[in-house]
Amino acid sequence: MNYQNSFEFAQKKDTEDSLSSFRNKFHIPTDSSSNELIYLCGNSLGLQPKTTSKYIEEELNDWATLGVEGHTEGKHPWLPYHEFLSQSMAKIVGAKPSEVVMMNTLTTNLHLMMVSFYQPTAKKYKIVIEADAFPSDKYAMESQLRFHGFDEKEGLILWKPREGEELCRFEDLETILSEQGNEIALLMIGSTNYYSGQAYPLKKITQLGHKHNCKVGFDLAHGAGNIQPNLHDTGADFAVWCSYKYLNSGPGSLGGCFVHERHANNKDLKRFTGWWGHNKETRFNMRKEFDALPGAEGWQLSNPPILSMAAIRASLDVFEEAGFENIREKSLQLTGFLEFLLDEMHNESISVITPRNPEERGCQLSIQVKNADKNLHTKLTEAGVISDWREPDVIRIAPAPLYNSFSDVFQFVQKLKQVVTN
Per residue in 108-156, pLDDT (tens digit) is: 999 999 999 999 999 999 999 999 999 999 999 999 999 999 999 999 9
pTM of the complete model: 0.96
Domain 80-320 has CATH 3.40.640.10: yes
Would you list the domain boundaries of the chain? 7-48+323-421, 80-320
pLDDT tens figures, 239-261: 999 999 999 999 999 999 999 99
Residue percentage of the chain with pLDDT more than 70: 100
Question: Does position 192 have pLDDT exceeding 90, yes or no?
Answer: yes
Q: What is the per-residue pLDDT for 295?
A: 96
Q: What is the per-residue pLDDT for 96?
A: 98
Over range 186-201, report the average pLDDT.
97
pLDDT tens figures, 267-284: 889 999 999 999 999 999
Question: Does position 422 have pLDDT exceeding 90, yes or no?
Answer: no
Over range 161-171, report the average pLDDT.
96
Spell out the SS3 assignment of the chain.
CCCCCCHHHHHHHHHHCCCHHHHHHECCCECCCCCECEECECCCCCCCECCHHHHHHHHHHHHHHHHHHHHHHCCCCCCCCCHHHHHHHHHHHCCCHHHEEEECCHHHHHHHHHHHHCCCCCCCCEEEEECCCCHHHHHHHHHHHHHCCCCHHHHEEEECCCCCCCCCCHHHHHHHHHHHHHHEEEEEEECECCCCCEECCHHHHHHHHHHCCCEEEEECCCCECCECCCHHHHCCCEEEEECCCCCCCCCCCCEEEEECHHHCCCCCCCCCCCHHHECCCCHHHCCCCCCECCCHHHHCCCCCCHHHHHHHHHHHHHHHHHCHHHHHHHHHHHHHHHHHHHHHCCCCCEEECCCCCHHHECCCEEEEECCCCHHHHHHHHHCCEECEEECCCEEEEECCCCCCCHHHHHHHHHHHHHHHHC
- Kindly report which listed range (39-48, 72-81, 169-178, 263-272) carries the lowest average pLDDT score: 263-272
Q: Under CATH, what is the fold of the domain 7-48+323-421?
A: Aspartate Aminotransferase, domain 1 (3.90.1150)
Over range 196-200, report the average pLDDT.
97
Over range 171-183, report the average pLDDT.
98
Residue 421: pLDDT band (50, 70, 90) is confident
